[in-house]
Structure 1
Amino acid sequence: MLRIVTHIERLLLAHDCVIVPKFGGFVLQTVPAMQKVEEHTFRPLRKEIGFNMTLQHNDGLLPESYMQMHGVNYRQAQLMLEEDVEDMKKTLQQYKKLSMGVLGSFSIGEEGQMIFHPGETELFSVGSYGLPVFHFPALPPLQAEREEVALLTIPVNRRLIRTAVASVAAVALFLLVSTPVKDVNQDAYTASFVPTEMVSQKPVLVEKAIAESVPENVVPEVEVKTVAPAPKRETVAAKPVVVQPAVAKKEVKANPKMYHIVIASFPSEAQADEFIAGVDRAECKHVSKVVRDGKYRIYADKFDNRADAETYMATLRSNPKYKDAWLFISR
């Protein structure tokens, strides 16, 4: 029985009517596109399967399909078709129901009549590309849509304003806590980040340069002007002018540089003292603070030699707590 169903489905793809001899004809009926306004549904152009039991003659489509698919002659194809039709009739009389796959099904009514129930399929709706029924809700009025957009816009704008204000406050707080650029000590940023040779040195005092350029026990030349006395009858010898040698200014030694290994920095002394109280003395024996430019810098140790300071700083940085330690140079 499934054999004849396959042939009918195959023929309905190319023909609008396929007749089963001594049983009836399957007819495709074209249904135009339609819209149900109340349900907001659209049904595209389609073809529905119908059945006409008055069509009993042999139109030759099914025998030819049997011949092509099974490779038999017309007589054999006719016998195979008649055998399938008899099986359909026997099943319908015995079970009062006959299934034809996607084509639909048959049943026997109360008065013994044969009733066809078409199947719900879009297989044969080639003209509409098999599009199913779809639901499209009505759009709201334009005025209502504008009001909804306006209501949604107000919370979004407020949220953006709050975010912007919070960002500005964070930036302002960062600028207040950070060290002003004008107060930055250039020597504080020479701690193993920039080579000493690349940092410009402070200018030497003019007095010191002059003092170093004049050798000791050397009297600079002094131009002596002799004022001619008024002419007199008697000539008086002028007294020699004694020039005292200039004494070179002694070189004033600047305060020696101190190299502090800084581990923290605070804007107030109270914060600095609180931090020092929590430092482990076993790790930093000589911890203390140095005040420069309004900042209280906490150092683990200080040295008068840069090499020793850098060696200690490298050892201290191996401790994760002091990995950000840096070198601060002061006089």
Structure 2
Amino acid sequence: MRVEQYITELLYHHNCVILPDFGGFLANTTHAQFEKESNLLLPPSKSISFNEHLSSNDGLLVNHIAKAKKLEYNEALTKVQLTIKEWKQKLNAGEKLRLVNLGVLQMSQDKALVFTPKNDTNYLASSFGLSTVAAIPIKRESLKKEVVQLEASVPLKITPEKRKESTLRPWMKYAAILLLMVSMGTSGYLGYKEYGQNKIALEQKAAVQVTNQLQQATFFDTSPLELPPLHLKVKRVTQGPKYFIIAGAFRSKANADKKVQMLQEAGFDASYIGTNSFGLHQVSFESSNDKSLALNKLREIRKNIASDAWILIKK
């Protein structure tokens, strides 16, 4: 059983998840930060650490697994204990324990557990969808110097002749426009008058033709025609899923694929549905064309597995 899957689900809503007789994973909230060396703005997040002294069973993890797997509490506790036993055997054998979306655990020379966190996933629910932003500094002084140098290199000189020419040019433009409007008005009126006379003549000619055609039509057989039956083949077009129940969004495509695999192993019809407007790779628990079915499934998932799940509608 992939116990780390349920640990990561709980870290979105709890700051401490304890594995009985093994240790606890802690989530510490950090504020938004600015890295001067790389000019990057980092959103608020949760940093993950491990403390092997927190080993008393508080029931949080076991209860969560029991609800997700629909098991009795003692049965879920037994499965967790078997998993922890396997982990301890690997660590005592000198192997590294790689926990998906959490990090790496290994045994030091003095038999202490050393945890190296994996920082690809942000477990702070309020920062969902936020990504690292590159902050490019604005050099105002250098831009100001460039503008001043450009203005100094292009002197502006206005002679009396140019000032007089610039004063007369608008009046010449308005006079030309007025003359054009007068000429267009005269020619337009004459054209409109001729158009009206032609229109009346054409309407009278069309009325005579229609009357002749109606008179001729009375000599034809007006009985209804018997047409052969018309058979049409209608091809039904099925639409793809519209409602996706989102399980998470990841900066790395590899992490999104791992999440899909984990959900599929847990019995979900999970899928990767591409990136959102922030460039994050989205993963869905399940999808459906039926809105009511999707809402019922969302309520079930929020109640038993992930309370921050939500629906994405794609048309």
TM (norm. structure 2) is 0.44
Looking at CA atoms only, which structure, 1 or 2, has the larger radius of gyration?
1
Question: Quick check: which one's helix share is greater?
Answer: 2
